[in-house]
A and B are shown apart, each in its own frame.
Chain A
Amino acid sequence: MIRRIGRHFREAFHGLIRHGAMTLSSAAAISLALLFVGIFILISQNIRDITYSIEESVQIHVKIDRNYETQDQINILQIQITEIPGIKEVIFSSKDQELDSLIESFGEDGQIFESYRGDSNPLRHAFLVDVIDGNLIERVALSIERIAGVETVRYGGAKTVELMNVLDSVRNWGYILVIGLIVIAVFLISNTIKLSIASRRDEIAIMRTVGAKNGFIRMPFLIEGMVIGILGSIMPIGITVGGYFYLYELLGGFLISQMFVLHPPLPLLYYIGTALVILAMIVGMMGSFVSVTKHLRWKR
């Protein structure tokens, strides 16, 4: 089969040219599907990055009740919190340290709180709790709140996490759309290949009579489908790569604020380009495989 690879390619290109219009329309179908794939990969990569950086900054702040301030009680509390599933790290922050961070957060003006240092410190001991996944934060916070000895539980960034969850589900619907488009592309390609098969019906009949193996007969059609796929991947790769570079330059690498850092274009775009070409070839070959296999099926 490999020995005749030149023949297979020649036959494939004959087919492609013979049905030029169908070739282009199926390539266009692949293009559309892949364009969405490319965009979704870019979006989801950025969502993941941003979610990650937000989650990094999201912390649960647990204030300890004034009646639980002995070292033993604090130790027990720490163990109880650490045992909750989804906890990454629990750091103890004493009244003094809490005052430090309060002072720090007020900057220059913070010095006025220095007078509270010592026994008159009205602040509570606290735990700073990091979770593994931002999605868990609400559940973990509720669990901590139920522990005896915990006065209050606060966490920031919850709204942002919620926003990311919404984006996440948007992305999932996007994938369903992409799968639908790919199915349509496979269908269109299999129709194009059907035409190609029809115009070579006599040849195929003779091949079967003289004993050509199915794989041999199938090969030119698979190549034809693959080439349609590659043709279809040119446009979406151009748009995704060019578009993202342009957007990245235009926005200076940030979306809206410094908090949303965009994923650097390289090497991500190399991966996307490669993935799109491979996906296109697979989709093209699948479409053609469906048609040829149906045509070659023995019915006896």
Chain B
Amino acid sequence: MIRNGSDNVLVMRNVSKTYKNGVNALYNINLTIEQGEFVYIIGPTGSGKSTLIKLLDGEEIPSKGLVEVVGINIGKLRHSKVPVYRRNIGVVFQDFKLLEKKTVFENVYFALEVINMPKLKARQRVREVLQLVGLSEKANSYPHELSGGQQQRTAIARAIANRPKLLICDEPTGNLDPQKSNDIIQLLEKINEEEKTTILMVTHDVNIVNQFRRRTIALQEGHVVADLSEGGYIRND
């Protein structure tokens, strides 16, 4: 892997994104996230959060400016290199995206199998991450036998199985009740601590942001309107 000298996992410099249909999603974003940080991105619908995630996972390229993740310039990433690049990042979705016909174990194993990790090593790692997310007992259960919180834990286990440098969580608590949401955040904090994974969590859950204070970046209509290292929600209405 190419490192850019510093400990920055993510660097965005003067990044703008305009879609082909003329919609402007992001304006002149400047952002640096260091290795090991836990960062919230908040903002209302249409503020550019989804576009930001798409820039990070290589699905979109910036119209202007530089996006660099783990030292890799996304704008210059060739299509054929995107899959290997993605092994550096884990993504957790609001709707879990588990495979219903596979058990918890198989769901996590699948992510390692398809990137060709040797079998024994993969099995070992699956057991490890299931232990970490507290689902060892549920390894042979199917997703429909689990609660929402447990399903999200499975998805998180899958996302971190390959030890990504950066874990992107896209509204991970959007489908969960407050208690389960808190559990998930605590789990993410644990992962942040134990696995040294940098976490970028997109949310619009004010309670979480206020309760678990972390660096918070607020987006509005494509602009960064606040970047508070002490955390907490900023009212500007």
Contact = CB atoms under 8 A, between A and B. Distances in A.
Interface string B114-142: 11101000000000000000000000000
A208 B116 contact: no
Contacts of A214: 80, 83
A205 B87 CA distance: 14
Interface string A189-216: 0000000000000110111111111101
A197 to B, nearest CB: 15
B151 to A, nearest CB: 14
Given A203-B99, A300-B61, A210 B84 contact: no
B111 A206 contact: yes
B234 to A, nearest CB: 31
Report the contact-size class of chain A (Cβ under 8 Å from the partner).
Answer: 20 to 34
Contacts, number: 56
Contacts of B90: 210
Contacts of A202: 97, 99
B83 A1 contact: no
Interface in A9-44: none
Interface residues of B, number: 26
B116 A1 contact: yes
Interface in A207-265: 207-214, 216-217
B195 interface: no
B27 interface: no
A208 B80 CA distance: 12
A199 to B, nearest CB: 11
Given A1-B116, A203-B99, A216-B116, A211 B59 contact: no
A211 B116 contact: no
A159 interface: no
A211 B85 CA distance: 7
Nearest to B155: A206
Nearest to B84: A211
Residue among A206, A210, A216, A300 having the largest count of chain B Cβ atoms under 10 Å: A210
B113 A7 contact: yes
A3 interface: yes
Interface in A280-300: 298, 300
Contact of A4 (B84, B87, B113, B158): B113
Contacts of A300: 59-61
B87 A210 contact: yes
Interface in A73-120: none
Contacts of A3: 116, 118
B79 interface: yes
B79 A298 contact: yes
Interface in B75-109: 79-80, 82-87, 90-91, 97, 99
Nearest to A203: B99
A257 to B, nearest CB: 63
B99 A208 contact: no
Contacts of B116: 1, 3-4, 216
5 contacts: A7-B113, A202-B97, A210-B158, A211-B85, A211-B87
Q: Which 7 A-B pairs have the closest CB atoms?
A: A211-B86, A212-B114, A211-B87, A210-B111, A298-B79, A213-B83, A207-B114
